[in-house]
Amino acid sequence: MSFADDTVYSEKQLDKLIEELEEKDKLPVKYFRNDKQHKTVLYLDGDYNYDDIEFDHDHHDIDFGFHKKDKKKSVGFFGMYWSPGFIMNDYTAANDLLSDLQFADDEIEQLWYNEFGFKFYIGKNTFLGMVFSGADAEGSTTLQLNDAGPTVHRKMKFEQGIWGFTLDKRYRVMDRMMLSSGFFIGRGKSILTLHQQNGEIIWDELWANDQTANNDYLKMEKRELVFEPRVSAMYRMVGPIWLKVEAGYNLGYSGKHWRDITTDDEYQVSNAPETSLFDGLTFTISPWIGF
């Protein structure tokens, strides 16, 4: 009866209206069926072919080559997560130093990170978020510098932290599954703390001059800019709870290298290795709470 707001008087006129269609998302239609007038809206699918129009003379229904527009599935608007993360970083430079100090070989192995993040929708299936992540490792060793010398106790603590921003594009491929690609950019920091105690610690002599002279303490820090391309997949378990699997590759860069931060005055450590402590593959599995 009407097509795109034009009254239809004949089949020939309808053919002409279809041929003269301009690009538009939706077309209001009125039609008469079973002694009643009905209204609907047709949506262009972008690939319709006028030659494919079929006429069903038995039921008087016409397939115009258009399709009803599927309801677009939401990718959400906000979410948060906590996850253990595995980063295959190269700790060779730090382990070489610790080995020289009589710690075990490969004292610092691949670390498991605790990662927390949240993201919110900014339009066009894109999410902006923040991520905080950290890990640490500790070790100790006991040795004698010479046969007559006192026992030396050494301890180490290695800490790493990352924080920054993420930008992701999501794709709802199924009702229960979404894919995502994007990147992280932020700051990374590595801290190596060394402590050495020579001889026995005696309660009454903790503050004696000769005893405090036997304590050595050093704290060094290295800061880096970290960039990481990421891809992930999420599967909805129940309600707003999803299972999120993500993989990426960290790239670290440092304009400044190791610095001594034992005191308030900072000193650059000469001849320190300039290699990044954040380069490597990353992998996380986590629950995602999304709305």
Q: What is the mean pLDDT of residues 56-64?
A: 48
Nearest to 223 by CA among 283, 135, 137, 163: 163
| pLDDT the model gives residue 57 | 46
| pLDDT the model gives residue 184 | 97
d(CA 38, CA 32): 6
Q: Is the pLDDT of residue 187 over 90?
A: yes
**What class has domain 78-290?**
mainly beta
Report yes or no: 268 and 223 within 8 Å, Cβ to Cβ. Answer: no
| pLDDT the model gives residue 188 | 94
| pLDDT the model gives residue 233 | 96
Instruction: Average the pLDDT over each of 77-81, 146-150, 185-189, 285-289 and give the range with the smallest value.
Output: 146-150
d(CA 168, CA 181): 6
Helix (H, G, I), strand (E, B) or coil at 120: strand
Better-scored residue on pLDDT, 4 or 22: 4
Better-scored residue on pLDDT, 279 or 27: 279
Instruction: Average the pLDDT over each of 19-33, 106-120, 236-250 and give the range with the smallest value.
Output: 19-33
Determine the longest span between alpha carbons in the chain, in angstroms.
113
Q: Is the pLDDT of residue 183 over 50?
A: yes
Domain ranges of the chain: 2-63, 78-290
Backbone angles phi, psi at 191, to 5 degrees: -130, 125
| pLDDT the model gives residue 68 | 46
Alpha helix stretches (DSSP H) within the chain = 11-19, 92-100, 209-212
| pLDDT the model gives residue 207 | 67
Q: Is the pLDDT of residue 62 over 60?
A: no
Give the tens place of pLDDT for each residue, 126-171.
999 999 999 999 999 998 877 767 788 999 999 999 999 999 999 9
Better-scored residue on pLDDT, 202 or 133: 133
| pLDDT the model gives residue 133 | 94
d(CA 106, CA 103): 9
Q: Is the pLDDT of residue 65 over 70?
A: no
pLDDT band (50, 70, 90) for residue 17: confident
Q: Is the pLDDT of residue 179 over 50?
A: yes
| pLDDT the model gives residue 263 | 84
By the 10 Å C-beta count (0-12 exposed, 13-18 middle, 19+ buried), 22 is classed as exposed
| pLDDT the model gives residue 59 | 46
| pLDDT the model gives residue 69 | 44
| pLDDT the model gives residue 5 | 80
Give the tens place of pLDDT for each residue, 225-246.
999 999 999 999 998 999 999 9
Q: What is the mean pLDDT of residues 83-87?
A: 86
Mean pLDDT of all residues belonging to the chain: 84
